[in-house]
Structure 1
Amino acid sequence: MPSKGLLSVHIAVILLAGTGLFSQLVPLPALDITFYRCLVAFVFLALVLSFTGQRFRLRNTKDYQTAIILGVLVSLHWVTYFYSMQWSSVAAGMIALYTYPVITVLIEPLLLQQKPKLNDLICALVVLLGIVLMLPLQNPLSDAGLGILLGVFSAMLFAARNLLYKHKFSQYNGPQTMFYQVLVGSLLLLPLLFVNNQATNWSLPTSSSLLLLLLLGTLFTALPHALLVTSLRYLTASSVALISCLQPLYGMLLAALILAQMPTWQTIVGGALILSGTLYETLKNRHR
């Protein structure tokens, strides 16, 4: 049912909007934050699947191969996403990430051997214009510029993950899907974490950082991503991508309230354009 998909994606967007705050609140490198995020989410989802009596095993070997690819994509997406916000800002990182709706809208019809719909193309162009208006006009070689470029790369990884799930893995529910993704992410990032910290005086996170990481891995990761992949069972990946454009608006509001990062007039105008595209896509799917 489209209504169930819409409810899932909107709740997920509100929770995911808060993830950017952790890049500034947790005093750790992005690689470390992502590893602990995956590890906490893995433990949490394992408990959820156990207590609800859901199966852990996948149906065939091909599905395990797909799960591994999904895990690699989502873990690399998270690492680049957090680095993007650490190098620039929460607002800039989220803005760069939200090139992924445009990427998704343009690629998904090609995978289905279809032409993109005109109204989706127009909506994507409106969203793209909003993103361009929100980007800070800075030296492209500065930390902020490199952070934005890394955010765009993160968006490509996220779009690829959504499309792969939609067309190859949607027979599994949200908790099952995210369980394998964060498991693969934990195994992939552990040796990288060891190598990255081998030359430094690495130590365990403080108690306050651990609390923040627990919140990040459960309430702000396991739950919203499970809801997000659940919504992909009822809506197209391009529709979910466009609806999710609310996330940077919520994220910038939270950044202003908690981190005192105030949006500029370009952010307000661009955000209005993004919101208009999101509302259009939401109403279109509700009508369906």
Structure 2
Amino acid sequence: MNFFERHRSLLTLHFTVLIWGFTGILGSLISIPALQLVWYRVLIAGATLAVYHWIAKKSVGVPASQMLKFMGIGVLVGLHWYLFFEAIKVSTVSVTLVSLSSMTLFTAILEPIYYRRKLSIGDIIVGLIIILGIYLIFKFEFQYWLGILLGLAAAACASIFSILNSKLVKTTEPSIITQYEMFGALIGLSIVMLFSGGFNADMALNVSDFVFVFILGSICTALAYVMGVAVMKNLGAFTVALVNNLEPVYGIILAFFILGSTEKMSLGFYAGAIIVLGAVFIYPLIRKKINA
């Protein structure tokens, strides 16, 4: 791999993370409720990936047992996205993104349990720092308590399905896993909406909602995912982890300029956010030093 290939991959990764950071903005701009929003997202993402596999002439056939596993995890992905967008609806993009950054905390706790290994001192220290940052955000932005709790729940779901996917991706191509997960999420959400009366007038999309939902499902989900996987061929896992941690930073900056005054928070919030995001950035460095 030459210099230009590496830097092109690095720029592509940053662009991908920027797109992921933009999903929160879209969640705020789209007027329909979170449940219907996520239903459209997984429908469009699943269909887009199916078209991608058809154009690339990739076989998506997997054993029935694996397919059920992928679709089961997809239900968890759907729950994660619902909690994420609901958090945005009841609070702000900034609050939700910082709360979602606690995924590092949940992973530090749950991953050792899943793989049956001891918690490291580094994991414990980083976890305590993140808890301190979240406490400050609770203290200074308590009016958004529901959004913070939903964001934390979304982070827990993201941590669980990421841990599960990290094992499955060793035997199946990531884009194929994602396609089945999108279909699993679609089925799960459809069942919930069927019994809760979610297929109602809230499904109606105006012109701007249609455009934003399509961008969310195709570009911010399917395309960004394929791009994110592609750069892993030229970049190490450590580099990818560090750049991925920029997602809330990009998202908060974009929200501040696009959404304006609704995203202006207290100094206490920004102090807590800096602590949380700082811990998130430190975490890969600690893990690398421990595993060296």
TM-score interval, smaller chain: 0.7 to 0.9
Please state if 1:276 is matched with 2:274.
no
The 5 Å alignment of 1:77-96 reads: 77-96=80-99
Partner of 1:266: 268
Other-structure match for 1:219: 219
Q: Separation in 1 of the partners of 2:244 and 2:37?
A: 23
Pairs within 5 Å for 1:70-149: 70-135=73-138, 137=140, 144-149=144-149
CA displacement at 1:182 relative to structure 2: 1.0
Structure 1 residues 72 and 97: alpha-carbon distance in aligned structure 2, compared to 1, 3 A threshold: same
The DSSP-based 3-state class of the residue aligned with 2:140 is coil
Q: Flag the 1:286–1:44 CA change in 2: closer, same or farther, 3 A.
A: farther
Cα distance change, pair 203–160 in 1 and its aligned pair in 2 (3 A):
closer
Query: 1:255 is matched with which residue?
Result: 255
Q: Which sections of structure 1, spanning at least 5 residues, go unmatched?
A: none
Pair 1:47-2:51 in alignment:
yes
SS in 2 for 1:62: helix
Q: 1:41 to 1:94 in 2, by over 3 A?
A: same
**1:14 aligns with one of 9, 18, 28:** 18
User: How does the TM-score come out when normalised to structure 1?
Assistant: 0.82
CA-to-aligned-CA distance 1:63-88 (integer Å, 9 cap, x gap)? 11210221110001111111111011
Q: Percent identity?
A: 24
Matched-pair contact (CA < 8 Å) for 1:245–1:274 = no
Assess, with a 3 A threshold, how the Cα gap between structure 1 residues 214 and 136 changes in structure 2: closer, same or farther.
Answer: farther
| CA shift for structure 1 position 202 | 4.5
| CA RMSD across the alignment | 3.2
Partner letter of residue 180 of structure 2?
Y
CA drift of 1:35 comes to 0.5
Residue 168 of structure 1 deviates from its aligned partner by 3.4
Cα-to-partner distance string for 1:220-240 (whole Å, 9 max, x where unaligned): 112334556776xx749xx94
**In structure 2, how many angstroms separate the alpha carbons of the residues matched to 1:156 and 1:9?**
24
Deviates more, 1:244-253 or 1:179-188: 244-253
Q: Deviation of residue 283 (structure 1)?
A: 5.0
TM-score (norm 2): 0.81
Q: Say if 1:89 and 1:195 are closer, same or farther in 2 by CA, change over 3 A.
A: same
Instruction: Give 1:135 deviation, angstroms.
Output: 3.6
For the 8 Å contact 1:17–1:250, the answer to whether it is kept is yes
CA distance in 2, matches of 1:203, 1:270: 37
Counterpart for residue 190 of structure 1: 190
User: Aligned to 2:61, which of 57, 64, 89?
Assistant: 57
**Amino acid aligned to 1:268:** Y
**Match for 1:54: what amino acid?**
K
Moved more, 41-50 or 264-273: 264-273
- Deviation, structure 1 residue 50: 1.1
- Secondary structure in 2 matching 1:116: coil
Matched residues in 2 for 1:147 and 1:35: separation?
20
Deviation digits for residues 9-55 of structure 1 (CA, Å, limit 9, x no counterpart): 75543222111112221110000100010011011111111111222
**How many residues get paired?**
278
Q: Are 1:27 and 2:31 counterparts?
A: yes
Distance (Å, rounded) in 1 between the aligned partners of 2:266 and 2:25:
18
Larger mean CA deviation between 23-32 and 12-21 belongs to: 12-21
Pair 195,146 (structure 1): closer, same or farther in 2 beyond 3 Å: same
Trace 1:153-192 onto structure 2 (pairs within 5 A). Answer: 153-192=153-192
Deviates further, 118-127 or 108-117? 118-127
Please state how far the C-alpha of 1:264 moved relative to its aligned partner. Answer: 2.7
